[in-house]
Amino acid sequence: MAPSISYQCEYSSINHKNVENLDSTDAFEGPEKLLEIWLSPIENLPNNGFRCIPLNQVESLLDDINCKILSQISSDNMDAYLLSESSLFVFNNKIILKTCGTTTTLLCIEKLFKLVKEYLQWDLTKFPAFKVFYSRRSFMFPQKQVELHQNWNNEVEYLDKYFPGGDSYIVGKSNKDHWHLFTSGVGFINANNLPVNSIIASDVAKKKLISEFKDETFEILMTRLSDEVTTVFNTQKFLSKCGIETVNGEFDGHKIGEITFKESGLAHLYEIEGSHDIKSNCFSFNPCGFSSNSIVDNSSYYTLHITPESGWSYASFETNVNPYELNTNNLEVLKKILKIFQPGCFCFTIFELKDEFNSRLGMSGKQDDTNNSFKLLKNVELKGYKRVEKIMYDIDEYKLLYVNFVKI
């Protein structure tokens, strides 16, 4: 039996002011709004790229969309911020902002453009981003969102102001639970138009860059969680069950989050032989709710967010980890997550580079089918669940798989 990964829970910094008396009583909308912006496929942008933006400016940007930084972990290649409403990941060449509740995620774009121009000397109005993705599940309570986020058409119209020429998708049955996606960006075909074009101007340089470029995102969105499971993420009930005493009902959210992470089984989604560097940052909210960020081998992440309230329980998992490097695959990860949360219904999405993408641009070689998440999950059968939807899209250099299941 392979030994478990050695997990290291640590915090580069904790904002004690923001975590004091943080109360999730009024939290209601678990499904997150997810904005991902790639400036370039090149990881090592000059002056540290996005990561050169000062922390106080990042905090100000988050204030504008109604969330706060609770704590941060970092590696050589990225910063992972645990937020009062989900997560922010900052890499040299890309930024991933994932926020739940009534946050106004898209309202950060104008300020982000200004920060990129000021600190990176990159004018996104003249040199559009390499890739832009905005996605979200259909909301449970859309009427409680601000006007911008109440309607998908409003969001697309707003995105078009900053990322013209983008494409909008409604994936799934529009009168039932479904998933929204907006994409934009210049892509590889027009990568020479980026400000860093001197680095990739030649065909040889471009082919080398493309051959080294890897991008895969696996996301699982779950609702109607098992009542037994949600007790673990109802912090007050969990404290009582574990016999942990509090002072006037107050507790250290990070310490309890670490315990919850281990006791729930979430700390063991990836098990491998050998040694890998995985560090995690966890937080349990009062009276309920849980969030965690994990950095894997300095450059990959996975993140979990749980809203356990009865009637609108929700959990999400997202990662760009290459599971095959950890001697597993995304089907095994999916099975572990379903065993933990036992959702009444869930969907998953896989964003993966097309098989023919490399050959189309002059590169050779294809992935082995056994190391291909798209092919592995395309026709998956899961005990205790019925597949009710399977949708596939070709989107520029990517292929998208969306699959929806209900418990039987």
Q: Which residues are catalytic?
A: 86, 100, 291, 305
Strands 69-74 and 13-14: antiparallel
Q: Greatest CA separation found in the chain?
A: 65
Q: One-letter amino acid identity for 32?
A: E
Dist CA 259 CA 252 (whole Å): 11
Dist CA 379 CA 375 (whole Å): 8
Dist CA 332 CA 270 (whole Å): 9
Dist CA 304 CA 319 (whole Å): 9
Q: Which of 287, 255, 246 is nearest to 16 (CA)?
A: 255
Annotated binding residue at 309? yes
Q: How far does Cα 109 stand from its chain's mean position?
A: 18
Encode burial over 173-188: b for 16+ CB neighbours within 10 A, e otherwise.
eeeebbbbbbbbbbeb
Annotated binding residue at 28? yes
Q: Which residues fall in the annotated binding site for substrate?
A: 28, 85, 285, 309
Q: Which residues fall in the annotated binding site?
A: 28, 85, 285, 309
